[in-house]
Amino acid sequence: MQDIDGLNGSLLVKRGSATVLQVSNGAADTEAGTVCTPDTRFQIASVSKQFTAAAAMLLVEEGALALRAPIAEWLPDCPRRWRELTLHQLLTHTSGLGHWWELTGFDVTRPGTAEEFLRLFAEVPLRTPPGTTWHYSSPGYLLVAQLIEEVSGRRYADFLDERILLPLGMEATCAGPPPPRGVAHGYQRGRRVDVEAFAAMPGAGDIWSTVGDLARYTSAFNADGVVSPSSRAAMTAAGVPTAGDAGADGPVVIDRYGYGYCLGTLAGRPARFHPGDNPGYHSLLAWLPELDVTLVILCNDEDASVDDALRQVLPALTPGP
């Protein structure tokens, strides 16, 4: 297969360590005339959350953080209504915190810094009592990144580099502002979308990567090369039900949420995955344990459909006769 209809980006399918399918289509930068290749770096949006969760679990393993203690132990100046929230609740989206649009007047093109956003978001009432209901919350992952910075004494991006990215040889991956070269710019209705300040807010969707690096990360994570076996088990356990809050009409269906991972099915088979959507970008990183198949889709066209691309590659996911 040389082309994927509607894909502007890069796609990779691996079975074990073998590459089954690799496709790159479309423009990375229409002005410069560069095209997408397997080495092009994309914003991976909320696929970043599994890295945030792994970083937090490394500190849990060291005893520097605890999953079920109030976050006020490490953030004593946090707002009163957040004081009893726990890391477990933040990672599983059960803290009661809302999503971006629940801050009145939030402008994705001018989000301010993470600290400024959280200061304003602190005035928003919790949607539900903590620990009772699943509700997707990227601001909750901003708060996890703040915890990581407070406890480690490092910038979140530096902590990721030192503890995860560089040890795994993920040289094309970074957190924060876009890398200086090899980047796919995001597009919406044919126009370039630049929302670097939003994309750089740590913890929620701030990572840039390639299809190859994300496949490398998945392999290392499965082999206990990122966190300990017990941490990996906790992150990927079939945790809280998503209570119908996630779509169920596409090839990917979310049933439950772990720590930075969705648990459900892909084309009817058990899968662990996470989708991502930032202005100008779509992404999906999935692993099918029955087949040991890793699927990565990175797209820099907001009008493209990851589901459509996924349907076209489904035959490549299963071994032939």
- Which residues are known catalytic residues? 46
Tokens standing for residue 9: 């980006």
Tokens standing for residue 281: 């970008």
Tell me the backbone φ, ψ of residue 234, rounded to 5 degrees: -65, -40
List, in sequence order, every beta strand (DSSP E) within 206-251: 207-209, 240-241
Residue 77: CB atoms within 10 Å: 6
Residue showing tokens 């909750």 = 140
Three-state DSSP class for residue 30: coil
Identify residue 17 by its one-letter amino acid code.
S
Identify residue 169 by its one-letter amino acid code.
G
Helical pair 49-61 and 138-152, crossing angle rounded to 10 deg? 40
Distance CA 62, CA 154 (A): 16
Length of the chain (residues): 321
Q: What is the dihedral of CA 131, 132, 137, 139, to 10 degrees?
A: -40
Residue showing tokens 């560069």 = 34
Tokens standing for residue 17: 């360590």
Distance of CA 15 to the CA centre of its chain: 22
Contact 167, 157 (CB under 8 A): no
Distance CA 275, CA 10 (A): 15
Residue 158: CB atoms within 10 Å: 14
